[in-house]
Amino acid sequence: MRKYPHYRSPVKLASALLLGLTGWAFSAVSLAGDFNMQTVESKASRLVERSYNPKPLPIPAFLKNLSPEQYSQIQDTSPLWQNDNTPFQAQFYLPGSWFHQPEIIREVVNGQVRPIPFKLSDFSFGDLKVPADLPGNLGYAGFRLLAPLNTPPSYNEFISFLGATYFRAVGKHAIYGTSARGLGIDTAQPSGEIFPYFKEIWLEKPQPGAQDMVVYALMDSPVATGAYRFTIQPGDSTTVQVQATIYLRKPVQVLELAPLTSMYWHGHGRGITAGDWHPAQHDSSDLVMADGNGEWLTRPIDNPLQIQTTTYSMDHPVGFGLIQQDRQFSAYQGIETQYQRRPSVWVQPVGDWGKGQVRLVELPTNNRDMDNIDVFWVPAQEPAPKTPLHFAYNLRFFLDNHGLIPLAHPVGTYLGDDPKTPGARTVVIDFADGALTNLPGSMPIVAHLSAENGGKVLSQKLEWDAKAHFWRVIAVIQPQPGTPSNVRCYLTLDKQVMTNTWTYLLHAAKE
């Protein structure tokens, strides 16, 4: 398992993970009337008119100084609704370690808002030595939801909200990996990234037999406020329907919708291994994108030597996501980490998102404990300050990619240095699935390979593996020194496109 519940690369901001104390106090809230999304939107619209005024509370040194490993020992042993015959239960996190930002969590029962009382006695502390004077009104720092997912009738955790606007989910038999966020702002910008946080949370108590769980959230930050409604349904794949309204206090450099955050250290010739013996260590292997014009793109993820940002302009996007392609233990050899069980995550816009960009930010890392990959949608035009921006999308956390990508697609990417030509790279791309599945190797499949920005394709060939039934493109490409080449490749049969377009930013080999 990874060490931290949620975390960010210190290259971006060492104190990036801000979380909240919840339940320490209850601000005035009307208990009359039916609570709904409009209630939260009204709060967000009023909040944007006020100056940003966060109020972090002092946290006892015992909790504040906990390492992530120590912090993970603290467990809520009395889940909310455990005696109410509901299909879902909720557990809470204490403040501590990296999680300092105040937050308030309440429940909504039949449209009425109720406080969730805090009891320190509900928590166990493992083998931590708890001081006798630990306050009894600490409040909560986040929450997770449970359902009879893997081992019914026992309840299993399937989603966790912890850290800024971070949340992550799993389907059956998966373990946590890639995270989602409510909103991102100015990632990888010289001015520094801004991390909004969920100021208030409302958990809607589920009725007996309910198939999904509804969560509302009020977001705040120095530059934006927002209202969110999450409809969460666990299963073989866990889905999260996101409905959001945001308000900007002032213009931002990069407004990031539907952000995903993941980790890629190394694998298949990509990334610096720094002496690690595993064949690969990553939560995601590829960024996959579907444009409104019908084109599907696959971009293998990398761990670069310097911060690298790549943009893909689109009109009416169909979706994008971070995919963990290889599901075999042998690909990773991680008994503890189990990367083959980390979920892929797909973002599917609801309604027309118009023009914009899918933006990929790759940051350098030398270990597995820092998320260094960000992917998000940047709209072509951001809203004017204090003007509401309504948007919605569906998230799916899954292990089985079947049915997501209609075409055959790249299922493996391998990079190496060519020993014969200084600076040249060997690129290997395996295409499989889709319409290629039933084609014999005698079919006249053609590989279309191009290298831009002055890159030269020195050689290429196409091979067919009859046993595993995939087509392999092997090419030697020489990028210009200091100028990465945008390389693209796809397969056709009788001039008909058969596969996703594989694309990659290829740097020259070190001489």
Q: Does 206 or 9 have the greater pLDDT score?
A: 206
Domains in the chain, please, with CATH? Answer: 37-398 (2.70.98.10), 409-506 (2.60.40.10)
DSSP, res 351? S
Residue 357 to residue 126: CA distance in whole angstroms: 46
pLDDT of residue 57: 72
pLDDT of residue 10: 31
Q: How many CA atoms within 13 Å lie on the side-chain side of 423? A: 14
pLDDT of residue 95: 92
pLDDT of residue 32: 45
User: Which tens digit of pLDDT belongs to each residue from 138-194?
Assistant: 889 999 999 999 999 999 999 999 989 999 999 999 999 999 999 999 999 999 999
User: Which tens digit of pLDDT belongs to each residue from 52-100?
Assistant: 988 777 789 999 999 989 999 999 999 999 999 999 999 999 999 988 8
pTM of the model: 0.91
Mapped to the 3 state alphabet, what secondary structure does 11-47 carry? CCCCCCCCCCCECCCCCCCCCCCCCCHHHHHHHHHHH
Residue 126 to residue 73: CA distance in whole angstroms: 5
Residue 178 and residue 207 in contact, taking contact as beta carbons nearer than 8 Å: no
| Number of residues assigned to the chain | 511
User: Which tens digit of pLDDT belongs to each residue from 275-305?
Assistant: 899 999 999 999 999 999 999 999 999 999 9
Instruction: List all residues 6 or more positions away from 450 whose beta carbon is below 8 Å from its beta carbon.
Output: 457, 487, 488, 489
pLDDT(199) > 50: yes
- Residue showing tokens 């990509």: 270
pLDDT of residue 54: 84
Mean pLDDT of 366-372: 93
Q: Is 68 left (phi over 0), alpha (psi -120 to 50) or beta?
A: alpha
Residue 316 to residue 111: CA distance in whole angstroms: 36
Q: Is 294 exposed, middle or buried (0-12, 13-18, 19+ CB in 10 A)?
A: exposed
- Residue showing tokens 């292997």: 285
Q: Can you give the C-alpha Rg of the chain in angstroms?
A: 24
Q: Is 134 exposed, middle or buried (0-12, 13-18, 19+ CB in 10 A)?
A: middle
SS3 84: coil
Residue 240 to residue 159: CA distance in whole angstroms: 10
Residue 50 to residue 99: CA distance in whole angstroms: 25
pLDDT-derived band at 33 (thresholds 50, 70, 90) equals low
pLDDT(438) > 60: yes
Give me the chain's average pLDDT, please: 91
Q: Which two tokens stand for residue 391?
A: 């948007």
Q: How far is C-alpha 509 from the chain's CA centre?
A: 30
Question: Among 100-104, 168-172, 465-469, where is mean pLDDT lowest?
Answer: 100-104
DSSP, res 1? -
Q: Which DSSP string corresponds to 300-332?
A: E----SS-EEEEEEEES--EEEEE-----GGGT
Residue 436 to residue 127: CA distance in whole angstroms: 55
| Cα pseudo-dihedral 119, 124, 128, 134, rounded to 10 | 10
Kind of pairing between the strands at 255-262 and 179-181? antiparallel
Q: Which two tokens stand for residue 219?
A: 């977001």
Q: Is 222 exposed, middle or buried (0-12, 13-18, 19+ CB in 10 A)?
A: middle
CA-to-CA separations, 219 to 64, 226, 246, 262, in angstroms, rounded: 24, 5, 8, 22
pLDDT of residue 103: 84
pLDDT of residue 16: 31
pLDDT of residue 510: 83
φ and ψ at residue 26, rounded to 5 degrees: -125, 110
φ and ψ at residue 42, rounded to 5 degrees: -65, -40
Question: Among 5-19, 118-132, 243-257, 310-324, where is mean pLDDT lowest?
Answer: 5-19
pLDDT(483) > 80: yes
Quote the percentage of the chain above a pLDDT of 90. Answer: 85
User: Which tens digit of pLDDT belongs to each residue from 258-275?
Assistant: 999 999 999 999 998 888
CA-to-CA separations, 246 to 78, 183, 224, 239, 462, in angstroms, rounded: 34, 9, 7, 22, 49
Residue 319 to residue 420: CA distance in whole angstroms: 41
Residue 409 to residue 395: CA distance in whole angstroms: 21
Instruction: List all residues 6 or more positions away from 181 whose beta carbon is below 8 Å from its beta carbon.
Output: 164, 165, 166, 167, 259, 260, 261
Residue 490 to residue 302: CA distance in whole angstroms: 20
pLDDT(27) > 80: no
pLDDT of residue 1: 32
pLDDT(209) > 80: yes
SS3 81: coil
Angle subtended at Cα 174 by Cα 437 and Cα 348, rounded to the nearest 5 degrees: 65
Residue 204 to residue 4: CA distance in whole angstroms: 27
Q: How many CA atoms within 13 Å lie on the side-chain side of 181? A: 31
Residue 256 to residue 359: CA distance in whole angstroms: 9
pLDDT(462) > 90: yes
